[in-house]
């Protein structure tokens, strides 16, 4: 093996590793305590069990596609075939979407509206 190949092979491997690392798991504006609730490259939907903030992130383009407040019982639906995102029956985003991009839905519960259940156990004789 020539010296050129010995140097070029590790250099190309480094470039490939850097390019693979460019697709991030979440957008920088998504809080660390927001959890991933679903992801995919087709139609996605998710129903919220508590109020909070939803974040929709396109992993391929590394862009925030949508973010907004949601209430308990609401449902978000991402439909790339119709180029829209809906919250219940309301269109919240109506722009061109790439069909095969992986989109991720993150959810951050509203800390001021969390329900805390306290149980008290007493020992009886």
> What is the structure's pLDDT at 77?
96
Look up residue 12 and give its DSSP letter.
H
- Across 4-8, 17-21, 46-50, least confident range: 17-21
Judge whether 79 and 43 are in contact, CB under 8 Å.
yes
Edge-first strand order for the sheet with 63-70 is: 35-40, 103-109, 52-58, 63-70
Average pLDDT, the chain: 81
Q: What is the pLDDT of residues 63-107, one digit of tens each?
A: 999 999 999 999 999 999 999 999 999 999 988 888 889 999 999
> What is the structure's pLDDT at 21?
44
Residue range 26-44: average pLDDT?
89
How far is it, in rounded angstroms, from Cα 111 to Cα 68?
15
Residue of 96, 113, 49, 100 whose CA lies nearest to 76: 49
């Amino acid at each position: 093996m020539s010296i050129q190949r010995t140097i070029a092979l590790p250099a190309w491997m480094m470039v490939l590793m850097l390019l693979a690392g460019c697709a991030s798991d979440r957008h920088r504006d998504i809080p660390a305590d927001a959890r991933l609730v679903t992801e995919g490259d087709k139609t996605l939907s998710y129903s919220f069990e508590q109020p909070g903030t939803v974040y929709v992130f396109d992993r391929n383009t590394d862009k925030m596609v949508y973010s907004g407040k949601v209430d308990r019982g609401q449902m978000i639906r991402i439909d790339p075939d119709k180029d829209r995102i809906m919250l219940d029956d309301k269109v919240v985003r109506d722009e061109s979407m790439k069909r095969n991009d992986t989109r991720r839905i993150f959810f951050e519960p509203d800390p001021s509206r969390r329900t805390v259940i306290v149980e008290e156990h007493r020992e009886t004789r």
